[in-house]
Structure 1
Amino acid sequence: MVAVAHGSRDPRSAATVHALLDVVRSLRPSLDVRGAFLDLSAPRLSDVLRGPAVVVPLLLGKAFHARVDVPAAVAESRVPAVVSDVLGPSPLLESAALRRLAEAGVTFGDSSLGVVLAAAGSSHAPANEAVASVARRWARESGWAGVEPAFASAASPDVPTAVARLRARGATRIAVASWFLAPGLLPDRIASLAGDAVVAAPLGADIEVAELILSRYSEALAEERTARSA
Structure 2
Amino acid sequence: MRALAEVVRTRSPGPDVRVAFLDLSEPSVGDALAGLHAEGHRHVVAVPLLLGHAYHARVDLPALVDEVTTRLPRLSVTVSDVLGPDPLLEDVALDRLADAGADLSDPGLGVVLAAVGSSHAPANEVVARIARGWDGRRPARVAAAFASAARPDVPAAIAKLRVHGTRRFAVASWFFAPGLLPDRIGELTAEAAPGAVVAAPLGTDPRVAAVVLDRYADALTGAVRTA
Q: Normalising to structure 1: TM-score of the pair?
A: 0.88
**3-state SS of the aligned residue for 1:82?**
strand
| CA displacement at 1:92 relative to structure 2 | 1.1
Query: Deviation above 2 Å: which 4+ runs of structure 1?
Result: none
**3-state SS of the aligned residue for 1:49?**
helix
Paired residue type of 1:35? V
Q: How far does the alpha carbon of each residue in 1:119-161 deviate from its partner, in whole angstroms, 9 at most, with x for none? A: 00000000000000000000001211x1110000000000000
**3-state SS of the aligned residue for 1:37?**
coil
- Which of 21, 25, 32 lines up with 2:16 in the alignment? 32
**3-state SS of the aligned residue for 1:194?**
helix
The worse-fitting range, judged by mean Cα deviation, of 102-111 and 38-47 is 102-111
Q: Say yes or no: does 1:174 pair with 2:173.
A: no
- Which of 41, 55, 71 lines up with 2:62 in the alignment? 71
For 1:143 and 1:160, locate their aligned partners in 2 and report how far apart those are by CA, in whole Å.
21
Paired residue type of 1:41? S
2:84 is aligned to 88
| CA displacement at 1:180 relative to structure 2 | 0.5
For 1:124 and 1:66, locate their aligned partners in 2 and report how far apart those are by CA, in whole Å.
11
Alignment RMSD (CA, Å): 0.9
**1:1-230 counterparts in 2 under 5 A?**
17-50=1-34, 51=37, 52-78=43-69, 79-144=75-140, 146-195=141-190, 196=194, 197-223=196-222
Paired residue type of 2:124? N
| CA displacement at 1:107 relative to structure 2 | 2.3
| CA displacement at 1:112 relative to structure 2 | 0.9
Paired residue type of 1:191? G
1:4 is aligned to none
The worse-fitting range, judged by mean Cα deviation, of 212-221 and 47-56 is 47-56
For 2:172 and 2:57, locate their aligned partners in 1 and report how far apart those are by CA, in whole Å.
23
| CA displacement at 1:71 relative to structure 2 | 0.4
C-alpha contact (below 8 Å) 2:103/2:109 kept by paired residues: no
| Structure 1: 5+ residue stretches without partners | 1-16, 225-230
Q: Normalising to structure 2: TM-score of the pair?
A: 0.90
